[in-house]
Structure 1
């Protein structure tokens, strides 16, 4: 039971954290011991939701487009650095969640000047970055090609209608869930597994060994960016490799709902079919003693396995396999993808070379890739807003009678309508590039907020000094691309190649 007589201050403007013991992992997952089988059956999960978003817009659109136009040399190593930096950043975001049970958007409210500034700003940045709907519009293009057997003509309305239909499907999936995070995990186990296995088989069948070697070498060899590519294109690629650079925190709240560490004490958002479950408005942390330090090490090891063993490996494979396939398609066709046809370019080329079954298979994989992104991003925008509103507004908690679902689902419907309007405004890949570069904006802000919060955690949970160095590298790497994007948007880019 939580000892409400003990509390620990952390930051400003938010209630002190209640102090109680960390739970045992076996208690949370309902098993006698955590072996390899139990690890993957119960403990792995939040990384899969992040990976479902990761293996998406960057991997199927921006990465293949860049490689298809410019090759692997000078592009691939940007992908590798981005994946490394983002996985470290994800671990630091998740560190706070596991140690306090608070999702990041709520935790930002503890940083000066306080929640009235950081919480609405953070919700706005996430909504502004992803509401353009390029991920949804691109999935709609794939469904159109699957239904009609040909890529959609430029400006066609039907792909946008399919995109809206897929948004409705996301609503249905979450509405039928008992526990929303769990159904997202299961959906991504199926989709991500099918995507990576099928792409691996296709690549082994289609891509010659020489191109495998060229791709792998390009991923690990630093080289100057190729002539003709813009820093804005590289920024989009870096921003959406792995996840969403400085905005990755918007997905890490699933560790709370999974019950990792103190998330087990603070609750989760139930699905519409689930029973109402209490979700605390403020976090909980653990005392500085030997017992809890040992428990923290166990939770931290589980976090590292989930992030490095699943997310990082999956993110690299998710970028390597589609980009190799794109490079092969460019070589076979003698053509290069454009921002208008990149969602269906590979399928069209393989249709000519290998026939209709390959065309349909690649289109199905493309739709799965983009829908997994759509599922994760759309739900995350709703989740971030719900968590922020529930934690900071006593009036809202009273209005929904302490049940965040009464805000979550109406807001999701309203957001669906807005995205359905916005995705009519531009070509899907252009919308994705916008979102990716806006994601880099987060790298100018949130690494420093993380430093503030994580340095004030219980001693056992605090980062080591080199973790702060890596957070600064995130700021420098992704921040540069955002500054360049703004310079390019208003006039001339900072760097041309």
Structure 2
């Protein structure tokens, strides 16, 4: 007679495979990588589909890049000290930051976790690294120098004149532009996609406009001097301060050691395992399930081949869009600034930097170039405002959603319920802070605080990426690149702190 008691399925079932990375966070479930065609909904990923669907997350980073470093700090340094000894620092910074971005995005693609969540896997655990990382990002960028500079440019565009020192209206315009950022994200179906499309439009307009403007007003000799300055190593010019040089290094390309704060867009785009973990949808979009922890893939031939395809897409996005755009975005404004210095016979100051080029072109060529330069400046600074403001909200949302089960229950699994209220709170705080200092000094503070990240996060990336599935692990030279990021940007931060509290370690 058969035994009537049914067998316990758990007694014989094989447990689902998992992959352990670090401490204090759940092990990662293991499942296959999706194909790019599956993620982007195409039969074949050719050149047309590549640009239409696959490329784009680096545009959000580039939009931030072209504003604070390329339009403000780089031109200011060149305007005051020339190209020699400044240009090569720009190139070294851009190369190191692009490679650092790739390593940060490697982790995102392999696990579907935003970097701020991944830091919680590094010993001693999330209770230290996650809140500390949120604090560092917000502390670095909440001063709002990019917003204040955009407000100055918009004031000049509306009134046809440079704002008087201490004027309140530019700050009102800066706050109004923060509201525009809120409206863009609120009106989106998928926030990352809305940011990509906005940056495609604005960055295309910016680069074409700058190129035409430079071709019209900049003589060939200055073009050559700028290009030569980029590729000729030389000692920093006499008189440049540690704060200026550290700001230039920190905000060339993006934000040196803090670049990871933008790389979570690869998750929302669906790169690699990001397709399995979800994204933050806009208010107009359908609610998307965002996992509180990541997923990874097995070490087999099929997934190894898929990983190589995703990694090639990442390299194309980073080198073809981010690096190329950052270099062009730095060359054009710096040679334009050098021409403005020639025309005006004066050098830019912290107070007039956001409108200096427009004023010089106005005196030489007339009002139409004054307004053209101002419009480009406002667009450039707004792309930075858009990316930084949204990223601060995104990093905090990802961190809170991933580490607090109680918050997830309160949000009923919908991170938008935290994202949008927090964005409004941050808007009010930034609106208050930007009243307390000149825009350029605020941007230099942010840039040097970004260099602080280079003392911490390269080593955390080494820890995490060395524990990824074997096909996704870095090669030895990638670790060397991360150490170089630590040495290069870390030096500028230490010198900045020494200069801030007393005498710099190195003077130029």
Of residues 204, 208, 232 in structure 1, which corresponds to 2:215?
A: 204
User: What aligned pairs does 1:39-438 form with structure 2 within 5 A after superposition?
Assistant: 39-438=50-449
| Structure with max Cα Rg | 2
CA distance, structure 1, for counterparts of residue 438 and residue 375 of structure 2: 21
Conservation of the 8 A alpha-carbon contact between 1:55 and 1:369: yes
How many aligned residue pairs are there?
495
Conservation of the 8 A alpha-carbon contact between 1:4 and 1:18: no
Conservation of the 8 A alpha-carbon contact between 1:99 and 1:262: yes
CA distance, structure 2, for counterparts of residue 231 and residue 82 of structure 1: 15
CA distance, structure 2, for counterparts of residue 447 and residue 165 of structure 1: 36
CA distance, structure 1, for counterparts of residue 351 and residue 315 of structure 2: 39
CA distance, structure 1, for counterparts of residue 273 and residue 159 of structure 2: 50
CA distance, structure 1, for counterparts of residue 180 and residue 310 of structure 2: 34
**CA deviation string 1:30-66 (max 9, x = no partner):** 1111111111111111000000000001111111110
Match status 1:463 vs 2:464? no
Question: What is aligned with 2:5?
Answer: none
Of residues 440, 443, 458 in structure 1, which corresponds to 2:454?
A: 443
Q: Secondary structure at the match of 2:353?
A: coil
CA distance, structure 2, for counterparts of residue 325 and residue 120 of structure 1: 41
Shift of 1:332: 1.1
CA distance, structure 1, for counterparts of residue 482 and residue 50 of structure 2: 28
Question: What is aligned with 1:36?
Answer: 47
CA distance, structure 2, for counterparts of residue 83 and residue 369 of structure 1: 18
Structure 2 residue ranges without an equivalent (≥5): 1-13
**CA deviation string 1:92-120 (max 9, x = no partner):** 00000000000000000000000000000
**CA deviation string 1:208-231 (max 9, x = no partner):** 111111100000110001111112
CA distance, structure 1, for counterparts of residue 305 and residue 15 of structure 2: 23
Structure 1 residue ranges without an equivalent (≥5): none
CA distance, structure 2, for counterparts of residue 463 and residue 64 of structure 1: 35
CA distance, structure 1, for counterparts of residue 177 and residue 258 of structure 2: 24
Question: What is aligned with 2:10?
Answer: none
Taking structure 2 as the reference length, the TM-score comes to 0.97
Shift of 1:5: 1.5
Q: Secondary structure at the match of 2:328?
A: helix
Of residues 3, 8, 17 in structure 1, which corresponds to 2:28?
A: 17
Shift of 1:4: 8.1
CA distance, structure 2, for counterparts of residue 232 and residue 481 of structure 1: 8
**CA deviation string 1:341-373 (max 9, x = no partner):** 010000011011111111111100000000000
Shift of 1:429: 0.3
CA distance, structure 2, for counterparts of residue 233 and residue 261 of structure 1: 39
**CA deviation string 1:446-493 (max 9, x = no partner):** 000000000000110000000000000000000000001111111111
Q: Runs ≥4 in structure 1, deviation > 2 angstroms?
A: none
